[in-house]
Amino acid sequence: MTQADSSPALIQAASTSSRKNIKRLWQLRNRKSRKRCNKSCTQSSGIVDTPRTLQTFKACWHSKKSWRGLNIVMPFLVRITHSCTVLFSLVLASSSMIDLHAKERESSPRRYSDTDNLDFLRLAIDRAKATLNEPRPPRPFQPTLEQLRLSQRLKDENIEQSLRPKPVPPTPLPLMDDAQVDIILKKRGVVSKYAREQVNDTDLSRLQPGQWLNDEIINFYGALLLGRSDEFKENPPKQKVNGSQVLNIYYFSTFFWPKLKEGYEKGRLAKWTKKVDIFSKDVILIPVNHSNAHWTSAAINFRKKRIESYDSMGTRRDGVFKALRAYLDAEHRNKKKTPFDFTGWVDHSIDEPQQENGYDCGVFTCQFLQGLSRGDDAIRFTQRDMPALRRRMIWEIAHAKLRDDP
């Protein structure tokens, strides 16, 4: 069957309501403007007879090989779309649907009102205005270069101190040795002798609580420190004493400081080291008496290149540093014939520990010298250790021997 024969047959199969539209499309098939064709389809009114229209659409779809078939298919698509739109409008316009929408609006109250929105906006604006009247926030902290260096130095010191072994505090005497102290204090006359030093019962009684130490007690204790150093130098021990190393020291008696204040030449200090080379020592220990009212300790530390002063009252003794520097230079000129080189040397003092009374300064001085002779990096005692340290010194002086326990 040719396309010309099939076209009247398709038109005959269409419904009565759609036949006029198809005829009009057939008359416009040879025109170039498809716009007029689409417009003519959309101008038609009424609802499509859907079953017959679909049948016609199916028949036309098989003839889509020609433009004539395509021109026939397009109007039916438009008609179907238009019919669906009309049906959907009728459903929505029904009385039952209108009642349902009304009931839904009545049953669900509005969540927010215009008044609530205005109150919210007004509150937000008031808060924003209030922030404008508040003071400006502080500027972020920006440390200076010096503050950064100080902070870094403190961190390094804390790390070094944490890595350094903690000092062991002095231990009290065992019960048997502590009982001997009471027996020693009952002795009369000369109680002990060592090297050129000796003490009697009157001197030893100054180690009881609340007593001020004299030259005899301090010089006797210094002689014990010097003797231990000489003994260890000749016979080095296999193990350290109290976890510390006994240094090669030299001890100046309490009478050295008054001579040093007179001057190197006037005090004839060259004779004090006639048989000793102090520059070969590790540390030089010097007890210092200030106006016969206070004991402190000083040291010339060749190992660490420091002039050291230890005052249990926490007072910095600049006069001690100046006098010992002058002595070092004069002694070096006298023995080595050249000025002393102070390159890298510093003055060193500490603030702790501090005594809490007016009579324990001598015990503090002896314990400072004890720690220096062992090369301790930290102080092991405090004010609360003074009673136990006094009884310990009584035992050591009476036996002319320093104890090995800490």
SS3 for the chain is CCHHHHHHHHHHHCCHHHHHHHHHHHHCCCCCCHHHHHHHHHCCCCCCCHHHHHHHHHHHHHCCCCHHHHHHHHHHHHHHHHHHHHHHHHHHCCHHHHHHHHHHHHHCCCCCCHHHHHHHHHHHHHHHHHHHHCCCCCCCCCCCHHHHHHHHHHHHHHHHHHHCCCCCCCCCCCHHHHHHHHHHHCCCCEEEEECCEEEEHHHHHHHCCCCCCCHHHHHHHHHHHHHHHHHHHHCCCCCCECCECCCCEEECCCCHHHHHHHCCCCCCHHHHHCCCCHHHCCEEEEEEEECCCEEEEEEEECCCCEEEEECCCCCCCHHHHHHHHHHHHHHHHHHHCCCCCCCCCEEEECCCCCCCCCCCHHHHHHHHHHHHHCCCCCCCCCHHHHHHHHHHHHHHHHHCCCCCCC
Q: What band does 234 get if pLDDT is binned at 50, 70 and 90?
A: confident
Mean pLDDT in residue range 143-170: 80
Active site residue 119: no
- The gap from C-alpha 232 to its chain's centroid, in whole angstroms, comes to 45
CA distance 55 to 315: 119
What whole-number percentage of the chain has pLDDT above 90? 47
pLDDT, position 322: 95
Which position among 41, 60, 361, 366 bears the catalytic label? 361
Mean pLDDT in residue range 282-296: 94
Which position among 282, 294, 360, 385 bears the catalytic label? 294
Q: Of 8-12, 112-116, 169-173, give the range with the top mean pLDDT.
A: 169-173
Q: Is 134 a residue whose pLDDT tops 70?
A: yes
pLDDT, position 180: 94
Q: Is 337 a residue whose pLDDT tops 70?
A: yes
Q: What band does 106 get if pLDDT is binned at 50, 70 and 90?
A: low
Mean pLDDT in residue range 253-260: 96
Give 265 or 43, the one with higher predicted confidence.
Answer: 265
Instruction: Report the chain's mean pLDDT, rounded to a whole number.
Output: 79
Active site residue 294: yes
Which position among 41, 203, 282, 311 bears the catalytic label? 311
Give 33 or 21, the one with higher predicted confidence.
Answer: 21
CA distance 189 to 91: 133
Give 27 or 57, the one with higher predicted confidence.
Answer: 27
Active site residue 361: yes
What count of other Cβ atoms lies within 10 Å of the Cβ of residue 225? 21
Mean pLDDT in residue range 362-380: 90
Residue 44's nearest CA partner among 12, 74, 11, 78 is: 78
